[in-house]
Amino acid sequence: MKLTGCEFATAKAHILGEPSCNQPTAKAAPQTGQAGTRATIETLAQAKKLPIEFLRSFGLENRSQGVCIPYRLADKSPARRHRIRAFLEHLRGEREKWCYWTPGPGEVEPYGLWRLAEARKAGFLMLAEGESDCWTLWFHGFPALGIPGADMAATLKGEHLAGIAKVFITQETDGSGVHFVQNMLARLKETGWAGESRILSLVPVKDPSELHCADPAKFKATFQSALDAAQDAAKWKAPKARTVWDDASFVSEEENDVPVDFLEEPVLARGSLTEISGPRGLGKSNYARWVAVKLARAGMRVLYLDRDNSPPKARQALRDWGGAGIVKCLAGEKAPPLLGNSADWKAFPVQNYDLVVLDSWDSTAEGTGEKDSRLPPIAISHILDIVHAENGPAVLVLMNTVKDGTHSRCSGVVEDRADAIFEVRDLTGVQFSGQAPWWEAMPIVGAKDWASRATRRKEREYYRMALVPSKFKLGGPEPSPFAVEIDFRTSPFSIRDITGEIDREGEESRQRKAAERAESV
């Protein structure tokens, strides 16, 4: 037997015939782990509210790949295959990265075969899905056997049930719960077992582990009540599968909609995507930095992704606005592109932020074009996953326009998926007559306006710009355009709303011209 290169625990297990999760031929653990909490005996014990030594009594050990969960046969000898628990939670449906089996020949066995004598003594057995429910049930003195998954009912053998008169099948509340019950009932029939089977539901909690975590002191009494109320399997019927169409309902006269949670009204709302679009150089980034710092000062958690600038330049820009120590920043190549490794975006810590800024779409979604219908939906999907997650943050995306200023430099699908779009216009040095609303008299925005815009801004230490809503689905009526002044004379830089000033300036101009006309007459 050659064990060269093994961990000490692996060699010991092979020599003594003990279960081992570190087989000499084992593959390395998946390394996409930024998405979840790495599993250790300590984190498992904390998550499941079970004593660490209790888990260690079943042979659990910390390994480089995760937690080793040894499987034993009925005679307590090691099974051929064991489970590695790499993370505490599922990684957005990617089960193979959450837990996996050690490689090699041999069948996968149910978990807990070496404890079946307890079930025979008690006269009944709980059939649960997975190991953690078994730990919980064993901790409270209930005999249990863990089936490794809803589709692994075939691991149960007739010999496992010998001498057991009654079986309880746990029906979890997630999507696989009904599937598990159906497969187990079919398997019991295949084995020829002739005992009594009952279906156990713990609604509203998902499973025994969750019931224990809710209140360990009350678990035993609550679980026993559920056992007493378990349904005869012969009378159990699988509920009709729920579809998306079941959510259709009549509109009530008084709808109790959840109010919009604005972070910065009317631009940013929690769980919404806002796009600010305009030609380069008008002040989009400075406005975004200002609002990021403003919200961070109010105690909100802000992440600024700036692929337009190098890390030193991006951090200095935030520093200029007072963002040191309160705004997190990823810049340059360190900010992941939307069409890069999708695992990076799947691993995004949604619950860690109230606002996420992407500066800008052009640099973050490199490789997409305004006429491209294939890649933009992929790129925007990562942002939408963040926005639409439970308690998702507000996301602000800065967009550059094409040269004539008529639309942003992205596919229409990106604008279609936004909840709000604000178009930026330059107001620096612009005088309004007051004869019409000021936003109807703004300068043109195309490339041919760059020269006149440069003249208006020359040697100025402050700029003015307008934000005009062109799409608004954040709730309530569409807001009016508003104007701000960006001031680089202050330390840190500052922004103030000048909408009222522009209105007054226009009115004063209108009245002055009216007086001049009257004098000329």
Q: Name the residue ranges covered by the structural domains of the chain.
A: 8-101, 113-235, 262-510
Q: Which CATH superfamily is domain 262-510 in?
A: P-loop containing nucleotide triphosphate hydrolases (3.40.50.300)
Distances (CA, A) of 219 to 109, 200, 210: 28, 15, 10
d(CA 311, CA 250): 52
* Polymer length of the chain: 521
| Backbone phi, psi, residue 318, to 5° | -70, -35
| Backbone phi, psi, residue 81, to 5° | -125, 145
Which parts of the chain have pLDDT scores under 50? 1-19, 23-35, 91-96, 447
Query: What's the pLDDT at 249?
Result: 82
Query: What's the pLDDT at 491?
Result: 96
Long-range interactions of 453-460: CB distance < 8 A, separation 24+: 453/281, 453/426, 453/428, 456/426, 456/428, 456/429, 456/430, 457/426, 457/428, 457/429, 460/428, 460/429
DSSP 449: G
Query: What's the pLDDT at 383?
Result: 95
Query: What's the pLDDT at 10?
Result: 46
For residue 400, the tally of other CB atoms under 10 A from its CB is 19
Distances (CA, A) of 319 to 330, 352, 393: 14, 22, 23
For residue 120, the tally of other CB atoms under 10 A from its CB is 15
Dihedral sign computed on CA atoms, order 312, 313, 316, 321: negative
Query: Which residue's entry shows tokens 């959450």?
Result: 98
d(CA 354, CA 302): 6
d(CA 180, CA 206): 13
Contact 512, 437 (CB under 8 A): no
Cβ neighbours for 72, distance < 8 A, ≥ 6 positions apart: 19, 59, 78, 79, 113, 114
Q: Top-level CATH class of 113-235?
A: alpha beta
d(CA 229, CA 260): 43
pLDDT digits (tens, 9 = 90+) for 416-473: 999 999 999 999 888 887 788 888 888 766 545 655 555 555 667 889 999 999 999 9
Within the chain, what is the greatest distance between any pair of CA atoms? 114
Q: Which tokens is 117 given? A: 């004598």
Query: What's the pLDDT at 130?
Result: 92
| CA atoms within 13 A of residue 241's CA, in its CB half-sphere | 5
